[in-house]
A and B are shown apart, each in its own frame.
Chain A
Amino acid sequence: MNVTSNARRLVRQILTGEVWPPLGDRHVYRTGPDGQAFALPGMGGMTLGVHCGDPATGYASDHLEPGASVRHCDPGANMALQFLTCVGNAVRIESGPAAGAVGHVIGQHAYVLVDFAAPVAEQVTTGDAVTVTAVGQGLALPGHPAIVVKNCDPGLLAAMPGGTRPDGRLEVHVAARIPAEAVGAGAGMVSEYANTDLMGAYAGLGGDLSLGLEGLRIGDIVAVAGADHRFGRGYRPGFLTIGVISTGQCMLFGHGPGPSSLMSGPEDAFALVDDPDANLAAWLHDETEPGQ
């Protein structure tokens, strides 16, 4: 993205975590939109077979978290890990047969979510230690003072197309535009933790649940209408939030594929360009990256 930023002033901090197990309880089942009981994998652990660029929905899964789901075992350190880690940050595997492999953060979902190339992912399991090079919180665009940037590695910003236009607006390429009605669980939470579940993307369920979002892909850059995520996540007419779809298929009602927040500001501060290629897969996860 052709834009002036304060990237040189950001600090890089080394954080640690581990691939965290999926969690359940003895009642097993949860409830879908029509009251259907379900027990489906998706959250936690090392989820295989879904990567950036792949469809977000269409799986027998709930709260699908592509790749590795990472936490820190100490509660305070975990919140630091969740808040400070940004989309695009490099993550190195430190233990197990995949030690030395590097992947990238694709979002947050009460776990840090890390996509690895498929051959690497096959070798990773719960408990494997990882190192995150956290950089990005505090990133600012001096030429766009109305826009607040969150959770965005400066390398990701540099790789994205668009930038400052002659009219002063920030051009951002988006793969999809999301109506305000789609915002589900996550409303009211802080913008540096978890993501914003989008309703209306229940592939295979009734048309009365649809907002036409079944075509979303993991890694898609999206614009959410009416979303002001500058200081938390709320509805504000005339604002929008740019996010990256970091989670997929949900069966739990009021939940769905979710963007992690990247930028937020007044609509007129942005110039959106509809671009089906606006996906993390276009800029990250080069098969020749270190560790492959």
Chain B
Amino acid sequence: MSAGPAGGLSAVAVNMLGVVEHPALGDTPYRVDADGHPYLPAGDGGLVLGVRLGDPVSAVAGDHVAPGACLVHTEPAARYALVSYACIGNPAEVRTGRAAGARGAVIGKRGEDGRVITGFRQEDLARMRPGDQVTVRACGQGWQHPDVPPGVVVMNAGPGLLAALPVAWPGGGPVTVGVRAILPSKLAGNGIGRPAAAWDLDLQLPAGPAADGLPPGTDRVLLGDLVAVTDLDVRHNMGYRKGWLTVGVVVHGTSPLPGHGPGITPILTGPAAALSAVTDVTGHRGLTETVLELQ
């Protein structure tokens, strides 16, 4: 994917080194779920096999499970930079270990200490291990994407990504995005008040009867789906702003922790007059392995 000039400025690409994360736990294995029950978090970071874009967000009994390999860096400042500059769709290549030379792509990011979620073919993931070095060709953060009006801010999206997603700008009207669901901002959990360029937003999707009355599609969310959140502005930290809309890619699965849930990496934010979403409960296709050429 090339980045031509837009808005007067060209995008810059930076090769950055990430390291496949090893999961880390404290000296007790347990966390406490929303009902007060202890559980052992499986799949929270690191390298996970068998979980793929297109899977339901609650398909596995894990905690914040992401589809592929999470990259970190041993230096905290370098880790923040890696997470801040990596964008969805950016190419990644394994540099060391048995899978050296394997090519993948950035699927999304996670916040707090920071992780870049990278997707690879399953046979490549099976040959990778924590500690393997992966280079990410980071490009797109802060860049004005062509064919997006100035009122809409694009974040975390590599050049060419929007063209591969159900994002359209018909007839000079608002940018229109096809999504699995349009959710109210009160479902925004961990990530609210944090910088969207380096932190995902967990969606607190209630299960069972508690989900009654929530918008269509809420119970059908898949990894890679686009989801919109109303009254949410993520340009300068993520926060409540009446009449705004934010669209993100679902990059990891659900979590038993209160205030957590499937996370979106935001890619578009703007006032409702400039950015709108259309729900497609059954036919929606967001970020897929085909889009990322992982098949």
CB within 8 Å of B: which residues of A? 31-35, 179-189, 197, 199-200, 207-211, 226, 228-238, 252-255
A188 touches B258 (CB 8 A): yes
Given A183-B192, A185-B194, A187-B188, CB of A235 within 8 Å of CB of B259:
yes
A236-B206, A252-B237 given; A187·B33 CB < 8 A: no
Q: Are A228 and B193 in contact (CB under 8 A)?
A: no
Known: A208-B243, A234-B260. A252 touches B193 (CB 8 A): yes
Q: Is the CB of B192 within 8 A of A185?
A: yes
What's the Cα separation between A186 and B204 when bound, in Å?
A: 14
Please name all residues of chain A whose beta carbon is closer than 8 Å to the beta carbon of B241 when the two chains form the complex.
Answer: 33, 208-209
Q: B81 in the interface, Cβ–Cβ < 8 Å?
A: no
Contacts A208-B243, A230-B36, A234-B204: A255 and B193 contacting too (C-beta < 8 A)?
yes
A contacts with B: majority SS: loop
Q: How far is the CB of B183 from chain A (nearest CB, A)?
A: 11
Which 10 A-B residue pairs are closest in the complex by CB-CB distance? Answer: A185-B193, A254-B193, A234-B258, A188-B190, A188-B259, A254-B239, A232-B258, A234-B259, A253-B237, A180-B186
Instruction: Write out the residue numbers on chain B whose beta carbons fall within 8 Å of the beta carbon of A182.
Output: 240
Chain A CB within 8 A of B21 CB: no
A37 CB to nearest B CB, Å: 10
Which single member of B184, B186, B193, B236 contacts A186 (CB below 8 Å)?
B193
Interface membership of B174, Cβ < 8 A: no
Q: A181-B185, A181-B231, A189-B190 are in contact. List 13 more A-B contacts (CB 8 A).
A: A32-B236, A33-B237, A183-B186, A187-B189, A188-B189, A197-B193, A199-B239, A210-B242, A211-B240, A229-B258, A232-B257, A234-B259, A252-B193
Identify which of A31, A183, A226, A238 contacts B237 (C-beta below 8 A): A31
> Cβ of A226: which chain B residues have Cβ within 8 Å of it?
186
Task: List, in ascending order, chain B residues with CB within 8 A of A209's CB.
Answer: 239-242
Contacts known (A181-B186, A208-B243, A253-B193); A231 close to B34, Cβ less than 8 A: yes
How far is B193's CA from A251's CA once the two chains are assembled, in angstroms? 11
Chain A residues with CB below 8 A from B240, complex form: 181-182, 184, 199-200, 209, 211, 254
Complex contacts, B187 vs chain A, CB 8 Å: 235
Report chain B residues within 8 Å CB of A200. Answer: 240
List residues of chain B with CB within 8 A of the CB of A187: 188-190, 192, 204, 259
Partner of A235, one of B35, B191, B204: B204
Total A-B pairs, Cβ < 8 A: 118
Would A236 and B239 count as touching, CB distance under 8 A?
no
CB neighbours of B206 from chain A (8 A): 235-237
Nearest-Cβ distance from residue A132 to partner chain B, whole angstroms: 25
In the complex, B233 has a CB within 8 A of chain A: yes
Known contacts: A33-B233, A34-B236, A253-B237. The answer to whether A236 contacts B34 by CB under 8 A is yes
Secondary structure call for the B interface: loop
User: Per a CB cutoff under 8 Å, which of A33, A184, A210, A230 touches B192?
Assistant: A184
Considering only CB atoms, which chain B residue lies closest to A197 in the complex? Answer: B193
By beta carbon, the residue of chain A nearest B33 is: A231
Q: Is B202 an interface residue (CB 8 A)?
A: yes
5 contacts between A and B (CB under 8 A): A184-B192, A188-B259, A208-B243, A254-B192, A254-B240
User: Are B239 and A253 in contact, with the CB atoms below 8 A?
Assistant: yes
Nearest chain A residue, comparing its CB with the CB of B202 = A188
Q: Nearest A residue to B195 by beta-carbon distance?
A: A31
A187 to B202, CA, bound (A): 10
Contact indicator B258/A231 (Cβ below 8 Å):
yes
Q: Beyond A188-B259, A254-B192, is A33–B239 a contact (Cβ under 8 Å)?
A: yes
Are B35 and A253 in touch, CB under 8 angstroms? no
Chain B residues numbered 186-228 whose CB sits less than 8 Å from any CB in chain A:
186-194, 202, 204, 206, 210
A238 to B244, CA, bound (A): 26
CB-CB under 8 A from A254, the residues of chain B are 192-194, 237-240
Which of A179, A208, A234, A255 has the largest count of B CB atoms less than 10 A from its CB? A234
Interface residues of B in 234-254 (CB under 8 A from A): 235-244
Whether B233 pairs with A237 at a CB distance below 8 angstroms is no
Residues on B with C-beta less than 8 A from A210 are: 242
Residues of B near A32 (CB, < 8 A) are 236
Chain B residue numbers with a CB within 8 Å of A211 are 240
Q: Which A residues are CB-close (under 8 A) to B190?
A: 187-189
Q: Is B6 an interface residue (CB 8 A)?
A: no
Alpha-carbon gap, A254 to B239, bound state (A): 4
Judged by a CB distance under 8 angstroms, whether B78 is at the interface is no
The digit string for B26-40, where 1 denotes a CB below 8 A from any CB of A, is: 000000111110000
CA A190 to CA B145, docked complex, whole Å: 39
The residue in chain A whose Cβ has the minimal distance to the Cβ of B37 is A231
Q: How many whole Å from B290's CB to the nearest CB in chain A? A: 33
